[in-house]
Structure 1
Amino acid sequence: MSVPARPIKLMAQIYKKVLPEVHRELAVWKKRAQNIPDAELRRQALASLETKTFHCEGGGIYSLLAGDHMKDAVAFIVAYQTISDYLDNLCDRSVSLDPEDFRCLHQSMLHALTPGIEPVNYYRYRRGCDDGNYLRDLVTTCQEVLSQLPLLEVIQPALHELAGYYCDLQVHKHVEKDQRVPRLIAWFQKNKTRLPEMSWYEFAACSGSTLGIFCIVSYAAGREHNMNELADRIKTSYFPWVQGLHIMMDYFVDQEEDRVEGDLNFCNYYPSDQEMFSRFNYFIKEADAAMNRMPDISFHKMINRGLLGIYLADRKVARQRDVRVLARKLIFRSGASAVFFFINGWLYRRIRQGSM
């Protein structure tokens, strides 16, 4: 199965191959989540599956890089993203503000990348949490897929580095509100010398994506590339610019929702909308340049443009006047591919929501 290099072919394979497989995997985990004994954990697990399906659908596109092993890649991507979304819900809506609790929960995301490590009680800093082995089974599903990869030891350093950034972010952004920004700034200062010029909140956004992990695992599952060099090239291509653009778009469309819920939103730290628009354009430019180092360049550039189009097609954009104005500028700035994916995303979301 060749990697699609044109938007129409990509969308055809997404609708025909990727989405049906993603939804099959999600149905399995939804059934599991419905049987979680603890009522609050069950509610959060189901909420993450129902409201964040788009994350698994988007991540699942990377399975097209896995060739004949696409189903294995989808199984990993859906399980890993489901861990991420479930824990994000637990931390966002938690009565706990204990960084040790958040660190312990997110240890599962590192264990999921490490076949041979026995899962532990990830809820040990919480009282009375019985999830019927839901989180444990998500972890072991990821481990089982990775254990079949012939070059696992080659890709693990890059996977662990990207997951380490992600887990650190989730700890720092969910503690007591008055501690969040100081902790995030201190964390940024520790990593600043290894980064291009950016702000602390942009670094935090770059750390909050799973795309680099999905890309590495999918290529490794395909078994057609020499991962000795490619794993590090993917990591440095996706982090920081592509991942940063991905997460900034997520925060961009969620501004009003986060304001209501009192959640941290990194877009709020730009001094003006003009500065934010300028930096988004810079991220787009740098992400495009980073893709020139990748195999299947056309595919990765389409993903970069597709992320913009699909995020900006979200219904939330239309409900926020300032966001809507900037979104239109970004779409037209980003060219025909972004417009194509914007239209597809707009139609798909409304058709899907109308059928629910």
Structure 2
Amino acid sequence: MTVPSGPLILMAQIYRKVLPSVHEELDKWTQKAHAIPDLELRKQALASIRTKTFHCEGGAIYSLLADQKQRELITFIVAYQTISDYLDNLCDRSVSLDPEDFRCLHQSMIDALTPGSKMIDYYRFRGECADGGYLCALVSTCQDVLADISARSIIQPALHELAGFYCDLQVHKHVKKDQRVPRLVAWFQKNKAHLPEMSWYEFAACSGSTLGIFCIVSYAAARGREMVHLVDQIKDSYFPWVQGLHILMDYFIDQEEDRIEGDLNFCSYYRNDDEMINRFKHFIEEADRAIETMPDKQFHKMINRGLLGIYLADQKVARQRNVRVLARKLIRKSGSRGLFFFVNGWLYRRIRQSI
């Protein structure tokens, strides 16, 4: 299967080959979530699927890199992203604010990347624990797919590094409010020497994406032992810039929602809108530069433009006047391809809501 290099072919393959399989997988996990005995865990599992479906839809685009193993990769991506979204909901709405609890929950994301790793009681530091095997089933599904990838030992260090950043972020950002920023700043200082120039909150955003993991695993499924020459190149292309662009867009459209809920939003730390938009433009330029030497670079460039278009097409943008004004500037910056994906995203979401 040829990796799509043009937007029309990409969208055709997304609608025909990706989205139906994503929804098939999500239907399975929705049925499993309905059977969770604990009311609160069931509520958060179902909410994470219902409100964050587009995370799985977007992540599963990387399955187009997996050649003959595309269907298996969709299974992996949907399961791994569902773990991420479920745990994010649990931590966001947690009453414990216990970093040990958050660390233990997110150990599941490391175990999911480690075939053969023995699963633990991920809920042991919290009251709610009766999930009917839901989280372990997600972990096991990821392990099963990775176990069939011949290059798993080659890619595992990179996967664990990216997942480690992700899990650290989830621990630091969900503790007591007065501890969040000091912990995030201290974490940034430990890693600053290995990063390009950026702020602590931008580093946190770069750490909060699963795209690098999906890209590496998808290539490994298709290219096998060739990954020994590719894995670091892919990791360094996606982290920090592409992943940072992804999560900054996520926070950008969630500003009003996070204010209401009292959740941490990294966009609030920019001094003003001009600084924020200039830094977003910098991330767009650096993300484009980072993928210049990647295989299938046109595909990855479309992903960058797609991130902008799909997020800026979200209805949350329309409900926030200031965000709407700034979004227009970003759409102009993203060029004709960004506009193409914006229109597609706008139409797709409204069609989905009308069904």
TM-score, normalising length: structure 2: 0.99
> What is the SS of the residue equivalent to 2:94?
coil
> Structure 1 residue 229: deviation in Å?
1.8
Deviation, structure 1 residue 334: 1.0
Task: Provide the secondary structure at the position in 2 that maps to 1:96.
Answer: coil
Aligned residues: 355
Matched, 1:181 2:173: no
Q: 1:207 to 1:176 in 2, by over 3 A?
A: same
- Is the Cα–Cα contact under 8 Å of residues 151 and 225 in structure 2 kept in the other structure? no
Give the corresponding residue for 2:219.
Answer: 219
Secondary structure (helix, strand or coil) at the match of 1:223 reads helix
The answer to whether the Cα contact below 8 Å between 1:251 and 1:267 also exists between their aligned partners in 2 is yes
What's the CA shift for 1:197? 0.1
- Give the AA of the match of 1:253: I
Q: Is the 8 A contact 2:40 2:128 kept in 1?
A: no
After superposition, the C-alpha distances for 1:157-180 in whole angstroms (9 at most, x for unaligned) are: 000000000000000000000000
Deviation at 1:128, TM superposition (A): 4.2
Equivalent residues of 2:150, 2:225 under 8 A apart? no
Residue in structure 1 matched with residue 250 of structure 2 by the alignment: 250
- Aligned pair 1:86/2:86, yes or no? yes
Within 5 A, what are the aligned runs for 1:95-244? 95-223=95-223, 226-244=226-244
Distance across 2 between alignment mates of 1:242 and 1:213: 12
Give the SS at the match of 2:37. Answer: coil
- Structure 2 Cα separation of the partners of residues 129 and 140 of structure 1: 18
Whole-angstrom distance in 2 between the partners of 1:168 and 1:57? 25
Which amino acid in 2 is paired with 1:317? V
2:151 partner amino acid: L
Partner amino acid for 1:78? V
The answer as to whether partners of 1:219 and 1:225 remain within 8 angstroms in 2 is: no
The question of 1:8 aligning with 2:8 is answered: yes
CA distance in 2, matches of 1:297, 1:127: 47
Distance change (3 Å), C-alpha of 1:154 and 1:225: closer
The whole-number CA distance in structure 2 between the counterparts of 1:298 and 1:38 is: 46
> RMSD between aligned alpha carbons?
0.7
- Distance (whole Å) between structure 2 residues aligned to residue 2 and residue 225 of structure 1: 19
- Does residue 77 of structure 2 align to residue 69 of structure 1? no
- Structure 1 residue runs of 5 or longer lacking an equivalent are none
| Mapping 1:319-330, distance limit 5 Å | 319-330=319-330
Structure-1 separation of matches of 2:342 and 2:130:
41
Contact 1:205 1:247 in 2 (8 A): yes
- Is 1:25 the equivalent of 2:6? no
Alpha-carbon distance, 1:223 to partner: 2.9
Q: Which residue of 2 aligns with 1:302?
A: 302
C-alpha distance in 2, partners of 1:349/1:128? 34
Q: CA deviation at 1:293?
A: 1.8
Unaligned runs of 5+ in 2: none
Taking the TM superposition and a 5 Å limit, the aligned residue runs for 1:279-294 are 279-294=279-294
Report SS of the residue matched to 1:74: helix
Corresponding residue of 1:318: 318
Instruction: Find the aligned partners of 2:223 and 2:331 in 1 and give their Cα distance.
Output: 36
Secondary structure of 2:117's match?
Answer: coil
Q: Deviations over 1:82-114 (max 9, x none)?
A: 000000000001111000000000000000000
For the Cα contact (< 8 Å) 2:151–2:224, is it kept in 1? Answer: no
The SS at the match of 1:334 is helix
Deviations 1:194-233 (A, max 9, x none): 0000000000000000000000000111136710021111
Measured in 1, the distance between the counterparts of 2:68 and 2:326 equals 41
2:295 aligned counterpart, secondary structure: coil
In structure 2, distance between residues paired with 1:329 and 1:128: 45
Q: Which amino acid aligns with 1:308?
A: L
User: Is the partner of 2:230 in helix, strand or coil?
Assistant: helix
SS in 2 for 1:12: helix
Please state how far the C-alpha of 1:75 moved relative to its aligned partner.
Answer: 0.5
What is the CA-CA distance between 1:118 and the residue it aligns to? 1.0
The normalised TM-score by structure 1 is 0.99
**Pair 214,227 (structure 1): closer, same or farther in 2 beyond 3 Å:** same
- The 4+ residue runs of structure 1 with deviation greater than 4 A are none
Q: CA deviation at 1:66?
A: 0.3
In 2, Cα distance between equivalents of 1:241 and 1:127: 38
**Structure 1 residues 225 and 249 mapped into 2: Cα distance closer, same or farther (>3 Å)?**
farther
Q: Which residue identity does 2:277 align to in structure 1?
A: F
- Aligned residues of 1:72 and 1:221 also touching (Cα < 8 A): no
